[in-house]
């Protein structure tokens, strides 16, 4: 019997509860709306964890988490910050491409757009002093992603496989039993 995925049902129930509690006046959804964007990105990441072969989920996960964090930052420290932080919108898909490379099938074509987008965003962000203070965080994140990368499966050929079929030279000779004689 095939089990069905209950994740979307739980997500809708949780989202409905959050929206209902917000509508009843217990808190203002306007203050917390960036958390919904981050939460959606985390759900994409969790879905990738359950299906590691579908590494395309890493793109929306990274974009939504990074942009959601940017929105959350601007929500609390002022939207005028967007004047200096707009390159994060270019950085988010660049990080998505890099994640798809590091945690996926390591297709070299993913590094080119990811590297270009990261370089452009860092170039524009580097006019800010805080970027030079915090740039080593990027090295820490990339190092952690390399450690989280699933190992590549090893493929052995039949010639290397000790349990594979024997070659012609290794096949044992089959000796036929002598026929019984009449004298026996």
Instruction: Encode pLDDT of 65-115 as tens digits.
Output: 999 999 999 988 888 888 888 999 999 999 999 999 988 888 888 888 888
Instruction: Encode pLDDT of 110-146 as tens digits.
Output: 888 888 888 888 888 777 666 677 777 877 887 887 7
pLDDT reported for residue 64: 94
Whether the full predicted model's pTM is greater than 0.85, yes or no, is no
pLDDT reported for residue 177: 67
pLDDT reported for residue 126: 77
Q: Where are the domains of the chain?
A: 30-148
* SS (HEC) of the chain: CCCCCCHHHHHHHHHHHHHHHHHCCCCCHHHHHHHHHHHHHHHHHHHHHHCCCCHHHHHHHHHHHHHHHHHHHHHHHCHHHHHHHCCHHHHHHHHHHHHHHHHCCCCHHHHHHHHHHHHHHHHHHCCCHHHHHHCHHHHHHHHHHHHHCCCCCCCCCCCCCCCCCCCCCCCCCCCCCCCCCCCC
């Amino acid at each position: 019997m095939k089990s069905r995925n209950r994740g979307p049902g739980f997500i809708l129930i949780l989202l409905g509860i959050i929206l209902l509690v917000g509508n009843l006046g217990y808190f203002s959804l306007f203050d917390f709306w960036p958390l919904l964007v981050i939460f959606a990105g985390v759900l994409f990441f969790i879905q990738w964890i359950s299906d590691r072969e579908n590494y395309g989920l890493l793109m929306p996960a990274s974009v939504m988490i990074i942009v959601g964090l940017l929105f959350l930052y601007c929500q609390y420290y002022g939207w005028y910050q967007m004047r200096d932080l707009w390159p994060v919108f270019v950085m988010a898909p660049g990080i998505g491409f890099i994640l798809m490379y590091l945690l996926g099938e390591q297709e070299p074509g993913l590094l080119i757009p990811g590297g270009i987008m990261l370089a452009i965003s860092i170039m524009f962000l580097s006019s800010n002093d805080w970027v030079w203070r915090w740039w080593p965080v990027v090295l820490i994140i990339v190092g952690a992603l390399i450690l989280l990368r699933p190992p590549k499966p090893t493929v052995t050929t039949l010639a290397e496989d000790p349990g594979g079929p024997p070659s012609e030279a290794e096949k044992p000779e089959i000796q036929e039993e002598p026929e019984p004689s009449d004298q026996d």
